[in-house]
């Protein structure tokens, strides 16, 4: 039923319609604020999950090759990860040193905004990085230039540094050694830097998502804590004003009365649902990779890592990305030969139906795959946007580690379903009946044919 319009008499609203108008207005504001600030709450999930795994800000970080027991939005087991939660309020100016080698990474602030690329896509181009992170409002120290630091001004006190080492030739141990060589220390301790400890968490469950909060009132409590702990961002001012109208404001106790609690709880549910629609049922024509395939681009803004387009912020592309993934940088989305990695999203089979964990599918991949490094296919649970949690305990097929490129073959068939197929069991990912799933096809160091249409994988084909 459509809500009744507010009645007016003599140009003034009639009393009996005012309360309903406020409810409708507050509900609209809350849903828009939810979607706008979702990346902020997602980043808080990463920072909290990192600390819950035993990491200490500025002192230690977990190292892991992601598996289904590592719950995190579209993490993958192609490369080991290091994720460090950093607190510039504790340290003052903070140095991050990345060793030479095949490492890719970035630093994002607490608002999930990109600050700097590291490793191969960074200024050092794989020859090593020495980055100086300056806290909000901090002046560049005079020794920074002479010492050769890349100076990065941070808009928040808390930031996240994420690094991945490419296990070239399948050598995970070497990749891990690269990440354990990362150094983090206060600039004031540069002559005698403290040890930065890297702790292996391959076998330890972790959850770095906001799943526990994203559809309920706790979402707003988490957001309130973040905006109270960080300087306001200029580009957030209009939406911070919206939050203030909803009773969510830095320096002000968050204690919604029953009416507002009901509105905010419903807005969290509606906001979450809207994000998942953007992610999994997009109506954007630019989502399609090829006109004769169901594959979509995971990221819709290839020109930058801030979702900016000429004259405005692409809010739909931003919603779509952060509903299913984390962190963003120009290098991640660039659609250029040999530039980083390429991400394609598979949600549907060749008939247009969503992928079903109770059915068996075949994916035919033409060989050779146009890459200079390696390629992979990873399956994710649609509800958690994390690796499919089947009994098999793996959610990926990777050219570095699995037999995916038979000598002389024109193609390779990959299988996904609840039971191993009669043939191709070594090229199978187990899925869970009753749960939808989606896949990312990744190419590291993509070649021209991956972009110009000369090469394209088949669609998922249901075999039952």
Do β-strands 81-87 and 60-64 pair in parallel, antiparallel, or remain unpaired? antiparallel
| Spatial distance between the Cα atoms of 296 and 456, rounded to a whole number of angstroms | 12
Query: What three-state secondary structure class fits 90?
Result: helix
pLDDT at 339: 63
233-250 pLDDT per residue, tens: 999 999 999 999 999 999
pLDDT at 348: 98
Q: What is the mean pLDDT of residues 275-286?
A: 96
Q: What is the CATH topology of the domain spanning 284-462?
A: Jelly Rolls (2.60.120)
Sheet holding 81-87, edge to edge: 114-119, 103-109, 158-165, 81-87, 60-64, 197-200
pLDDT at 333: 74
Helix axes 237-245, 15-52, angle to 10 degrees: 120
Query: Please, which residues have CB within 8 angstroms of residue 197's CB and are 6 or more apart in sequence?
Result: 59, 60, 61
Domains 8-46+213-278 and 60-204 share a fold: no
44-91 pLDDT per residue, tens: 999 999 999 999 999 999 999 999 999 999 999 999 999 999 999 999
What are the residue ranges spanned by the domains of the chain?
A: 8-46+213-278, 60-204, 284-462
Query: What three-state secondary structure class fits 324?
Result: helix
Query: What three-state secondary structure class fits 381?
Result: strand
E strand spans, 78-188 = 81-87, 94-98, 103-109, 114-119, 129-134, 150-153, 158-165, 183-186
| Spatial distance between the Cα atoms of 361 and 458, rounded to a whole number of angstroms | 12
Percent of the chain with pLDDT over 90: 88
In this predicted structure, the answer to whether residue 289 has a pLDDT above a threshold of 70 is yes
pLDDT band at 195 (very low <50, low <70, confident <90, very high): very high
Output DSSP code: residue 15. Answer: H
Of 165, 26, 82, 77, nearest to 440 by C-alpha is 77
366-405 pLDDT per residue, tens: 999 999 999 999 999 999 999 999 999 999 999 999 999 9
pLDDT band at 5 (very low <50, low <70, confident <90, very high): confident
In this predicted structure, the answer to whether residue 1 has a pLDDT above a threshold of 70 is no
81-116 pLDDT per residue, tens: 999 999 999 999 999 999 999 999 999 999 999 999
Kindly tell me the sign of the dihedral angle through the C-alpha atoms of 125, 128, 134, 136: positive
Q: Which two tokens stand for residue 388?
A: 């499919």
pLDDT at 143: 80
CB 331 within 8 A of CB 340: yes
For the chain, what is the mean pLDDT?
94
pLDDT band at 423 (very low <50, low <70, confident <90, very high): confident
Q: What share of the chain is helix, strand, coil (3-state, %, to 5)?
A: 30, 25, 45
| Spatial distance between the Cα atoms of 18 and 384, rounded to a whole number of angstroms | 40
Tell me the CATH number for domain 60-204: 2.60.40.1610
Q: What is the mean pLDDT of residues 118-139?
A: 94
Q: What is the mean pLDDT of residues 308-329?
A: 94
pLDDT at 132: 97
CB 447 within 8 A of CB 456: no
CB 118 within 8 A of CB 133: no
| Residues 117-131 as b or e (16 or more Cβ within 10 Å = b) | bbbbbbebebebbbb
| Spatial distance between the Cα atoms of 120 and 340, rounded to a whole number of angstroms | 8
pLDDT at 3: 64
Give Cα 110 to chain centroid, integer Å: 13
pLDDT band at 335 (very low <50, low <70, confident <90, very high): confident
pLDDT at 337: 76
Tell me the CATH number for domain 8-46+213-278: 1.10.3360.10
Q: What is the mean pLDDT of residues 286-292?
A: 95
| Spatial distance between the Cα atoms of 82 and 59, rounded to a whole number of angstroms | 13
pLDDT band at 2 (very low <50, low <70, confident <90, very high): low
Output the pTM of the full model: 0.95
In this predicted structure, the answer to whether residue 338 has a pLDDT above a threshold of 70 is no
Q: Is the peptide bond before 368 cis (omega within 30 degrees of 0)?
A: yes
Percent of the chain with pLDDT over 70: 99
């Amino acid at each position: 039923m459509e809500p009744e319009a507010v009645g007016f008499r003599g140009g003034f609203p009639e009393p009996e319609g005012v309360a309903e108008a406020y409810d409708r207005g507050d509900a609209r504001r809350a849903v828009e604020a939810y979607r706008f600030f979702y990346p902020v709450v997602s980043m808080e999930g990463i920072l909290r999950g990192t600390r819950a795994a035993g990491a200490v800000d500025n002192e230690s970080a977990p190292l892991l090759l992601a598996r289904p027991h590592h719950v995190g939005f579209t993490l993958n087991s192609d490369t080991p990860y290091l994720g460090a939660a950093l607190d510039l309020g504790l340290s003052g100016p903070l140095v991050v040193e990345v060793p030479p080698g095949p490492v890719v990474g970035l630093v994002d602030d607490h608002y999930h905004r990109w600050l700097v690329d590291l490793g191969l896509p960074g200024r050092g181009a794989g020859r090593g990085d020495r980055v100086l992170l300056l806290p909000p409002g901090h002046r560049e120290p005079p020794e920074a230039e002479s010492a050769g630091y890349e100076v990065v001004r941070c808009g928040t006190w808390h930031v996240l540094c994420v690094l991945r080492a490419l296990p070239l030739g399948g050598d995970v141990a070497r990749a891990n050694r690269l990440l354990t060589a990362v150094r983090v220390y206060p600039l004031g301790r540069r002559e005698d830097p403290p040890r930065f400890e890297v702790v292996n968490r391959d076998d330890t469950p972790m959850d770095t998502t906001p799943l526990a909060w994203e559809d309920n009132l706790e979402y707003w409590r988490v957001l309130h804590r973040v905006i109270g702990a960080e300087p306001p961002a200029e580009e957030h001012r209009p939406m911070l004003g919206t939050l203030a109208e909803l009773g969510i404001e830095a320096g002000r106790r968050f204690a919604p009365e029953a009416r507002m609690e009901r509105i905010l709880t419903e807005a969290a549910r509606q906001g979450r649902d809207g994000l998942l629609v953007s992610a999994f049922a997009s109506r954007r024509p630019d989502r399609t990779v090829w006109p004769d395939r169901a594959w979509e681009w995971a990221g819709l803004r290839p020109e930058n890592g801030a979702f900016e387009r000429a004259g405005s912020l692409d809010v739909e592309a931003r919603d779509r990305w952060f509903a299913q993934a984390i962190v963003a940088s120009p290098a991640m989305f660039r659609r250029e030969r040999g530039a980083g990695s390429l991400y394609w999203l598979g949600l549907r089979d060749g008939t247009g139906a969503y992928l079903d964990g109770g059915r068996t599918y075949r994916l035919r991949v033409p060989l050779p795959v146009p890459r200079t490094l390696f390629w992979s296919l990873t399956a994710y649970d649609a509800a958690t946007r994390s690796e499919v949690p089947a009994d098999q305990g793996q959610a990926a097929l990777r050219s570095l580690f699995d037999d995916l490129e038979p000598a002389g073959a024109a193609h390779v068939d990959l299988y996904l379903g609840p039971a191993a197929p009669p043939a191709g069991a070594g090229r199978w990912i187990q899925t869970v009946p009753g749960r939808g799933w989606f896949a990312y096809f990744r190419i590291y160091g993509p070649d021209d044919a991956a972009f110009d249409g000369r090469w394209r994988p088949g669609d998922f084909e249901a075999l039952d």
